[in-house]
């Protein structure tokens, strides 16, 4: 059985020995306990996991092959995260793992562990739109809207680390997104405006 | 995607013990072979998941390296920089030491893939990823590299394929990092289940079709790539990395070039490394260009000479002859940029 | 018109800033009075943000792929791995034993001569419905198919050869195609070539004899795929009492008709619903094979079935823009007057027809002598279909480069030449505005830059018919509490038609757009017409205003009684109904609604004919007299050492009659320009010559413009009033896409002095055109 993975448990695991390779410490050999506890194989049938999504913990069962995007959209019903290419080539499925934008379609649900997942449904806090969301509406940074949730997640993540980005920085942040409607100019304008407002 | 079991290793030894196979072994099995019991390693997972989703790979088990403590550390070590194999491309690109001492590597990693992928993809995984050749990537084509008898790129769609060493299999090596790391003279450390390690020059670790038709490197079963080592950057070295994609946004290189020039106090080039990516099945050392540069002072004329030398001996396919002038341009520009740096 | 019930009205007419005047029109009695120019209106013509913006930015919008019904099954289609093959046998026994399977359908059948041959890689062969996507995938893989390989051809030039393997046996080629040109059912078929569809006026032989200059060129355009971000998707729910279908479609009402006909159901028992619609660009205009498959599976399994195509299925079998070869000759006198135009085209839409190159060459410029011969070539490739400006987008690539070439041969400025030969008032004004915005006077002779990076300016024009759907309708209701609804089956493809409807209706009632509840994308409501042909706004906003105006007339009668005023003296403004010129005599809109005896006041209106009549009628559709012109200017930098074309700026000046919402129009035009840029530089469907497989059936090696490839785009939309309908509005989606690639190509010529006659203009193609690619040894 797979237990919810916890960093603290890992650090406490005194059975993990370290081998010095130069200055960096790498867990190298293992005692029996760690091997049994952490490294037991699970699946391929569904495995219980805990996912923390938008600050809410969910206990569920997933096959190891289930991607995070599928798991959010299916069992958790969070369909705001879109799957468009399913290969990491369009970024429509962008969610945050501990605040970092990643492709939900190229992440397995089982490997999320204790990292917090933020989806488009969790961005607006207490009913108030995130400034990026508000700016997207004002600047019409959307057309069909299918790529929009992922695009919003990328732009909001950018503003979290660079409150007042340059135009080039915005374009770089969304350079992995494909929008067939061609909303890029308005997305850039909206994000710059949201940045200017926040800064 | 086939079902698979999952193991999250907590130590390198566990991972190595569990990793019974490398992807090439599974991908060359005949389609009607019995299901395998083999386990393969997953780092960031972008390449493995891509292969799984295309039904090119069906391991019984994935062994995750993500929870092994310390595998992502970037640290100085006797003048070298040691980059843990699990460090993400984003982290390596943003690392202060990398930026100061190996700016060409930072440039290359910043240009790779997309921000989302760079946040997950690891340096080790980037080096070990399988080629992007579209015949290799499609289940319908049982090509040489997958144990078949034919390279479909010859006489097929080959605009993104190799212009050197392409007589049998025309893949280009997919790793952006490798282009620069070979130019920097980087080496890799591999560990086995017993804790033994071997350290190999990256250039020697990567193998072409003449050495092995079905693999791009010498990774062995029960072996984990744990670190990349960058030799001390000489203070009088200049370096540059240039990439040209078809698009400015998220795209693979049509051509990319890394140049490292070491100069003596008089400004004469003591040692030159000129490496072409997206040119050959492994990062291509343009030896003729390096020879042309060595012992001379770099200027426009010499850069042009080196550029022409770099593409000498190329054997373009039906649709990739454009790569010759493109590489010549990038080499010339990269040499001048390295010289200025 | 002699109909005495018509009333004479005076409408604004002409282009704002270039001679705005009036025109007299005869208007049906139940249609509203003329709508003044935008400057005099509260909502129409204003940059109102999208009313469904919050849902879109929070992920709440429900797209078809998000629809999940209780007990829903998942469908998966097994597709042909061969480009041409006859089925010898198909065995579904193993799939049927899969524990998750609930229904299996064989599409290709050995015993059926009409269905025993597959003609492209990706052609549907069989389908399953199962309890999960994974189960469906596994079961589909268990279906055994025995194929007899047949010879095939994927290259258009090769397919034209008399010795080429025939894609269809004699007499079996598909007839006319509902969209695209040529669409005539009676054309000859020789081998794999169907046509020519010919068109002519005057005498081209005489015209070329009279010409002092002739330009003659061959052009090629590639196959482009639609790449909708939401895949083609359907959830079919077959019940004993009727069929409900959730579908990502551009035409709910049309799909309903197709379903009713295909399954022998009365229209009243078929409902088609779409909420969020993740892009279509022409490819979601019809029910499609996957749609029919889902319905059959649902009927068989007695459960709802979802089919959502995977990306590789999207790329191989959801339609594409046909590739073309064109030869275009244009003759002219020294002063620029055109004397003759001759066009020959071959295009391939794979196994289907509709690969013509449109009517740019026929219609854009004044020329007394014209001839065209257009051919469809069958190949063993996935079927083409309409795509944003079908025909005209590849067609304009040839025409507008030829005109550019002609201008140079005549030593005329390309803008000046067009001023002589283009009769359109709108485009004249568009050229004037665009030239000023881009700084056209900076344009230098071709190849003027000495360095390796060469800059240039180019321009190109487009024409697109102003389409109208005549059976498009709208219902407007005011409930007793004063709440207002507008209802139509029209779907929002992404252009924001719901917002435009709220503006239209809000304008009539003097209410804010937020006060209007918009219910669209459901065939339970009056048929709203298709979202293709850039016709939604032109078709559905006039009946929306008409219906609202009829409801308001009833309300004003009530209010007149309450305010002791003549209803003709009342106006609805700012949430109130008041006596014109006497704001003290007023009542709340809500209070007026509450005076109703019934629970609602409702009116359904349909699109009337354009008040000035139509140029042409085609069944339920018609073309307005005036076409929609567009002029685009591009500035590029070409690195002649890498072959990379960087588009730095595009100025797009477009015409859509009355612009309803400049914010949304700007979005749409930017999208048209970017799709055109992507077509010009990046996109190409590549079929492996030896297997017929698409080697880039993804979004990675099928390259689409991203944010860093986007130039600065300057959008100008004319206000061009014509007095044609209750709103006088037309569409803009397709017109904004047609001119871009050729404006870029002309700018590349101006930069380098080298003319790019084939798309896409990749670094490989540019370096080759510059003579920099060595011959292979």
Pairing of strands A94-97, B197-201: unpaired
Return the axis-axis angle of helices C536-563 and C497-509, rounded to nearest 10°: 20
> What percentage of chain C exceeds 70 in pLDDT?
98
Contact C226 A176 (CB under 8 A): no
Q: CB distance from A136 to chain C under 8 Å?
A: yes
Contact C279 A180 (CB under 8 A): yes
Interface test with C, best of B58, B113, B154, B156 (most C CBs within 10 A): B156
Statement: residue C197 has pLDDT above 80: yes
Residue reference for tokens 């979202």: C531
What's the CA gap between C756 and C763, in Å, rounded?
12
C116-150 tens-digit pLDDT:
999 999 999 999 999 999 999 999 999 999 999 99
Q: How confident is the model at residue A198 (pLDDT cuts 50, 70, 90)?
A: low
CB A72 within 8 A of CB A53: yes
Interface test with B, best of C764, C768, C776, C777 (most B CBs within 10 A): C764
Q: Around A95, how many Cα atoms within 13 Å sit in the side-chain half-sphere?
A: 35
Q: Of C172, C187, C123, nearest to C356 (Cα)?
A: C187
C30-67 tens-digit pLDDT:
999 999 999 999 999 999 999 999 999 999 999 999 99
Q: Would you state the pLDDT for residue A114? A: 96
Q: Identify any residues that bridge with B199 across adjacent strands, giving them in sequence order.
A: B189
CA distances from B221 to B59, B63, B85, C118 (A): 13, 13, 17, 43
Interface test with C, best of A137, A182, A184, A192 (most C CBs within 10 A): A182
Statement: residue A20 has pLDDT above 70: no
Contact C773 B325 (CB under 8 A): yes
CB C693 within 8 A of CB C121: yes
What's the CA gap between B61 and B58, in Å, rounded?
9
Domains of chain A: 2-119 (3.10.20.30), 131-198 (1.10.150.120)
Q: CB distance from A81 to chain C under 8 Å?
A: yes
Chain B residue with CA closest to C689: the answer is B156
What's the CA gap between C474 and C537, in Å, rounded?
12
Mean pLDDT of A183-199: 92
Q: Would you state the pLDDT for residue A27? A: 65
B-facing residues of C in 38-97 (CB < 8 A) are 81
Q: pLDDT below 70 — which residues of chain B?
A: none
Contacts of A123 in chain C (CB under 8 A): 58
Contact A38 B78 (CB under 8 A): no
What's the CA gap between C751 and C75, in Å, rounded?
52
Number of Cβ within 10 Å of residue B167's Cβ equals: 12
Q: Would you state the pLDDT for residue C114? A: 82
Contact A27 B195 (CB under 8 A): no
CA distances from C357 to C341, C367, C387 (A): 14, 18, 12
Q: Would you state the pLDDT for residue A40? A: 85
What's the CA gap between C18 and C718, in Å, rounded?
10
CB C337 within 8 A of CB C207: no
Chain C residue with CA closest to A131: the answer is C57
Mean pLDDT of A23-41: 57
Statement: residue C187 has pLDDT above 90: no
Mean pLDDT of C696-720: 98
Residues of B at the C interface (Cβ-Cβ below 8 Å)? 1, 132, 134-135, 138, 140-141, 152, 155-157, 159-160, 244, 246-252, 254, 316, 318-322, 324-326, 329-330
Lowest mean pLDDT of A21-35, C254-268, C269-283, name the range. A21-35
Q: How confident is the model at residue C176 (pLDDT cuts 50, 70, 90)?
A: low
Provide the sign of the torsion angle of the four alpha carbons A167, A172, A177, A179, taken in this order.
positive
Q: Which of A124, A144, A185 sits opposite C493 (nearest CB)?
A: A144
Q: How confident is the model at residue A3 (pLDDT cuts 50, 70, 90)?
A: very low
Structure tokens given for B73? 């550390």
CB A147 within 8 A of CB A90: yes
Pairing of strands B61-64, B39-42: parallel
Q: CB distance from A169 to chain C under 8 Å?
A: no
What's the CA gap between C749 and C732, in Å, rounded?
28
Q: How confident is the model at residue C236 (pLDDT cuts 50, 70, 90)?
A: very high
B152-177 tens-digit pLDDT:
999 999 999 999 999 999 999 999 99
Tell me which chains share at least 3 CB pairs under 8 Å with chain B. Answer: A, C
Q: Which of C686, C688, C706 sits opposite B250 (nearest CB)?
A: C706
Chain C residue with CA closest to B256: the answer is C642
* Alpha carbon of B31: minimum distance to chain C alpha carbons (Å): 13
Q: CB distance from A152 to chain C under 8 Å?
A: yes
The three-class DSSP label of residue C247 is strand
Contact B322 C688 (CB under 8 A): no
Contacts of A176 in chain B (CB under 8 A): 113-117, 249-250
Contact A177 C495 (CB under 8 A): no
Statement: residue C309 has pLDDT above 70: yes
* Alpha carbon of A4: minimum distance to chain C alpha carbons (Å): 25
Q: Of B11, B70, B65, B122, nearest to A23 (Cα)?
A: B70
Q: Would you state the pLDDT for residue A199? A: 56
What's the CA gap between C359 and B189, in Å, rounded?
65
Q: How confident is the model at residue A38 (pLDDT cuts 50, 70, 90)?
A: low
Q: Which of A10, A28, A102 sits opposite B120 (nearest CB)?
A: A102
* Alpha carbon of C137: minimum distance to chain B alpha carbons (Å): 9
Tell me which chains share at least 3 CB pairs under 8 Å with chain A. Answer: B, C
Structure tokens given for B306? 């080196």
Q: Around B275, how many Cα atoms within 13 Å sit in the side-chain half-sphere?
A: 30
Q: CB distance from C310 to chain B under 8 Å?
A: no
User: 0.90 exceeded by the pTM?
Assistant: yes
Pairing of strands A24-30, A16-21: antiparallel
B237-340 falls under which CATH superfamily? CO dehydrogenase flavoprotein, C-terminal domain (3.30.390.50)
Provide the sign of the torsion angle of the four alpha carbons A32, A35, A40, A41, taken in this order.
negative
Q: How many residues does chain B have?
A: 341
Q: CB distance from C773 to chain B under 8 Å?
A: yes
Q: CB distance from A105 to chain C under 8 Å?
A: no
CA-based max dimension of chain A: 59
Q: Which of A137, A149, A175 sits opposite C707 (nearest CB)?
A: A175
Number of Cβ within 10 Å of residue C222's Cβ equals: 18
Q: Which of C56, C229, C277 sits opposite A178 (nearest CB)?
A: C229
Mean pLDDT, chain C, whole residue set: 96
Structure tokens given for C312? 């590789």
C528-565 tens-digit pLDDT:
999 999 999 999 999 999 999 999 999 999 999 999 99
Contacts of B10 in chain A (CB under 8 A): 10, 13, 16, 27, 30, 34-35, 37-39
Contact C281 A83 (CB under 8 A): no
Q: Of B275, B215, B273, nearest to B242 (Cα)?
A: B275
Contact C311 A187 (CB under 8 A): no
Structure tokens given for C65? 């792929």
The DSSP secondary structure of C390-415, one letter per residue, reads TTHHHHHHHHHHHHHHHHHHTT--HH
C673-692 tens-digit pLDDT:
999 999 999 999 999 999 99
Structure tokens given for B82? 């040691």
Q: Which of B8, B117, B191 sits opposite A38 (nearest CB)?
A: B8
The DSSP secondary structure of C282-334, one letter per residue, reads TTTSS-HHHHHHHHHHHHHHTS-EEEE--HHHHHHHS-EEPEEEEEEEEEE-T
CB A38 within 8 A of CB B10: yes
Q: How confident is the model at residue A11 (pLDDT cuts 50, 70, 90)?
A: very low
Q: Nearest 10 degrees: CA dihedral of B82, B47, B216, B292?
A: -60
Residues 6+ apart with CB under 8 A from B170: B133, B151, B153, B154, B158, B161, B162, B281, B317
Structure tokens given for C82? 């061969």
Domain boundaries, chain B: 237-340
Element (H, E) at B192: strand B187-192
What's the CA gap between C627 and C145, in Å, rounded?
51
């Amino acid at each position: 059985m797979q237990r919810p993975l916890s960093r603290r448990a890992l650090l406490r695991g005194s059975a993990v020995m370290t081998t010095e390779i130069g200055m960096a410490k790498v867990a190298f050999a293992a005692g029996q306990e760690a091997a049994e506890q952490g490294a037991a194989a699970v699946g391929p049938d569904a495995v219980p996991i805990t996912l923390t999504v938008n600050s809410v913990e969910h206990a569920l069962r997933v096959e190891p092959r289930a991607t995070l995007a599928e798991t959010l959209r299916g069992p958790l019903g969070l369909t705001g995260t879109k799957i468009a290419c399913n290969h990491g080539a369009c970024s429509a499925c962008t969610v945050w793992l501990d605040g970092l934008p990643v492709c939900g379609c190229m992440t397995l649900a089982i490997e999320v562990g204790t990292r917090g997942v933020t989806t488009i449904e969790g961005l607006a806090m207490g009913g108030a739109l995130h400034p990026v969301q508000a700016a997207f509406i004002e600047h019409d940074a959307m057309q069909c809207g299918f790529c929009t949730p992922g695009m919003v997640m990328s732009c909001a993540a950018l503003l979290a680390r660079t409150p007042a980005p340059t135009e080039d920085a915005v374009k770089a942040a969304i350079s992995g997104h494909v929008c067939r409607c061609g909303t890029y100019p308005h997305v850039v304008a909206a994000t710059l405006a949201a940045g200017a407002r926040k800064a | 995607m086939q079902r698979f079991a999952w193991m999250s290793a907590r130590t390198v030894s566990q991972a190595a013990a569990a990793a019974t196979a490398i992807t090439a072994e599974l991908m060359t099995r005949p389609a009607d072979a019995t299901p395998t019991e083999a386990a393969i390693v997953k780092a960031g997972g972008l390449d493995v998941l891509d292969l799984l989703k295309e039904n090119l790979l069906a391991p019984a088990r994935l062994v995750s390296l993500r929870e092994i403590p310390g595998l992502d550390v970037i640290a100085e070590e006797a003048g070298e920089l040691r980059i843990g194999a699990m460090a993400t491309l984003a982290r390596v690109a943003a690392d202060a030491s990398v930026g100061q001492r190996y700016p060409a590597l930072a440039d290359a990693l910043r240009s790779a893939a997309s921000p989302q992928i760079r946040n997950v993809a690891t340096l080790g995984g980037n080096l070990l990823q399988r080629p992007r050749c579209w015949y290799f990537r499609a289940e319908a084509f049982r090509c040489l590299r997958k144990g078949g008898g034919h390279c479909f790129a010859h006489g097929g769609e080959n605009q993104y394929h190799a212009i050197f060493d392409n007589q049998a299999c025309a893949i280009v090596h997919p790793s952006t990092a490798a282009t620069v790391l070979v130019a920097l003279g980087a080496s890799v450390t591999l560990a086995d289940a017993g804790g033994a390690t071997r350290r190999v020059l990256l250039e020697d670790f990567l193998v072409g079709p003449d050495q092995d038709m079905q693999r791009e490197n010498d990774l062995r079963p029960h072996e984990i790539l744990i670190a990349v080592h960058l030799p001390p950057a000489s203070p009088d070295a200049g370096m540059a990395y240039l990439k040209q994609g078809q698009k400015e946004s998220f795209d693979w290189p049509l051509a990319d070039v890394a140049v490292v020039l070491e100069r003596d106090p008089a400004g004469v080039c003591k040692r030159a490394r000129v490496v072409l990516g997206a040119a050959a099945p492994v990062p291509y050392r343009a030896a003729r260009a390096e020879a042309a540069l060595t012992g001379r002072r770099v200027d426009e004329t010499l850069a042009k000479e080196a550029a022409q030398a770099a593409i000498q001996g190329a054997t373009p396919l039906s649709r990739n002859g454009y790569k010759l002038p493109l590489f010549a341009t990038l080499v010339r520009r990269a040499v001048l940029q390295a010289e200025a740096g | 018109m002699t109909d005495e019930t018509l009333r004479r009205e005076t409408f604004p007419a002409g282009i704002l800033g270039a001679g705005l005047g009036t025109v007299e029109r005869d208007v049906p009695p139940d249609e509203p009075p003329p709508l003044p120019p935008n400057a005099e209106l509260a909502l129409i013509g204003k940059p109102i943000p999208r009313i469904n913006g919050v849902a879109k930015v929070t992920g709440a919008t429900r797209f078809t792929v998000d629809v999940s019904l209780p007990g829903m099954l998942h469908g998966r289609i097994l597709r042909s791995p061969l480009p041409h093959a006859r089925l010898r046998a198909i065995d579904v026994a193993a799939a049927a034993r899969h524990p998750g399977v609930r229904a299996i359908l064989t599409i290709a059948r050995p015993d059926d001569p009409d269905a025993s041959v597959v003609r492209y890689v990706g052609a549907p062969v069989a389908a399953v419905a199962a309890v999960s996507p994974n189960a469906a995938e596994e079961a589909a893989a268990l279906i055994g198919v025995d194929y007899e390989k047949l010879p095939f051809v994927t290259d258009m030039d090769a397919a034209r050869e008399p010795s080429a393997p025939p894609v269809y046996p004699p007499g079996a080629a598909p007839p006319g195609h509902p969209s695209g040109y040529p669409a005539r059912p009676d054309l000859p078929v020789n081998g794999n070539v169907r046509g020519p569809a010919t068109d002519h006026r005057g005498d081209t032989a005489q015209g070329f004899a009279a010409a002092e200059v002739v330009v003659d060129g061959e052009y090629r355009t590639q196959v482009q795929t639609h790449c909708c971000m939401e895949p083609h998707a359907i959830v079919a729910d077959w019940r004993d009492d009727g069929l409900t279908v959730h579908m990502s479609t551009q035409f709910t009402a049309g799909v309903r008709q197709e379903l009713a006909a295909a399954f022998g159901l009365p229209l009243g028992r078929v409902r088609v619903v779409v909420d969020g619609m993740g892009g279509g660009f022409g490819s979601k205009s019809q029910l499609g094979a996957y749609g029919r498959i889902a319905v059959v599976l649902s009927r068989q399994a007695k459960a709802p079935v979802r089919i959502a195509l995977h990306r590789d299925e999207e790329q191989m079998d959801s339609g594409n823009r046909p590739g073309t070869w064109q030869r275009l000759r244009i003759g002219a006198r020294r002063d620029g007057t055109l004397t003759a135009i001759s066009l020959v085209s071959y295009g391939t839409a794979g196994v289907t027809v509709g690969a013509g190159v449109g009517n740019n060459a026929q219609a854009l410029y004044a020329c007394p002598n014209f001839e065209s011969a257009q051919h469809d070539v069958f190949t063993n490739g996935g079927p083409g279909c309409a795509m944003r400006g079908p025909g005209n987008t590849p067609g304009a690539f040839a025409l507008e480069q030829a005109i550019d070439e002609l201008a140079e041969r005549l030593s005329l400025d390309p803008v000046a030449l067009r001023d002589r030969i283009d009769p359109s008032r709108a485009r004249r004004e568009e050229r004037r505005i665009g030239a000023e915005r881009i700084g056209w006077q900076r344009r230098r002779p071709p190849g003027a830059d000495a360095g390796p990076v060469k800059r240039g300016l180019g321009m190109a024009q487009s024409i697109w018919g102003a389409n109208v759907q005549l059976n498009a309708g709208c219902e407007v209701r005011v409930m007793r509490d004063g709440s207002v609804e507008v209802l139509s089956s029209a779907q929002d493809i992404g252009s924001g038609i719901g917002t435009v409807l709220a503006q239209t209706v809000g304008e009539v009632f003097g209410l804010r757009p937020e006060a209007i509840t918009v219910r669209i994308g459901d065939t339970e409501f009056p048929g709203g017409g298709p979202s293709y042909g850039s016709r939604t706004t032109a078709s559905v906003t006039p009946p929306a205003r008409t219906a609202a105006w009829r409801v308001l007339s009833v309300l004003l009668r009530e209010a007149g009684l309450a305010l002791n005023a003549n209803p003709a003296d009342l106006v609805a403004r700012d949430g109130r109904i008041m006596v014109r010129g006497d704001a003290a005599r007023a009542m709340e809109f809500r209070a007026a609604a509450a005076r109703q005896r019934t629970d609602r006041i409702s009116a359904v209106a349909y699109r009337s004919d354009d008040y000035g009549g139509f140029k042409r009628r085609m069944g339920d559709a018609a073309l307005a007299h005036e076409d929609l012109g567009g002029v685009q200017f591009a500035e590029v930098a070409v690195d002649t050492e890498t072959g990379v074309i960087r588009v730095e700026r595009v100025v797009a000046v477009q015409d859509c009659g009355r612009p309803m919402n400049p914010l949304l129009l700007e979005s749409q035009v930017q999208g048209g320009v970017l799709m055109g840029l992507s077509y010009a530089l990046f996109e190409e469907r590549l079929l492996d010559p030896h297997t017929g497989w698409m080697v880039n059936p993804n979004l990675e090696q099928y390259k689409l413009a991203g944010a860093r490839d986007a130039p600065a785009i300057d959008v100008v939309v004319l206000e061009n009033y014509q007095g044609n309908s209750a709103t006088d509005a037309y569409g803009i989606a397709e017109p904004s896409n047609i001119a871009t690639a050729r404006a870029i190509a002309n700018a590349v010529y101006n930069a380098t002095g080298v003319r790019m006659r084939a798309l896409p203009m990749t670094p490989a193609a540019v370096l080759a055109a510059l003579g920099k690619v060595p011959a292979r040894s």
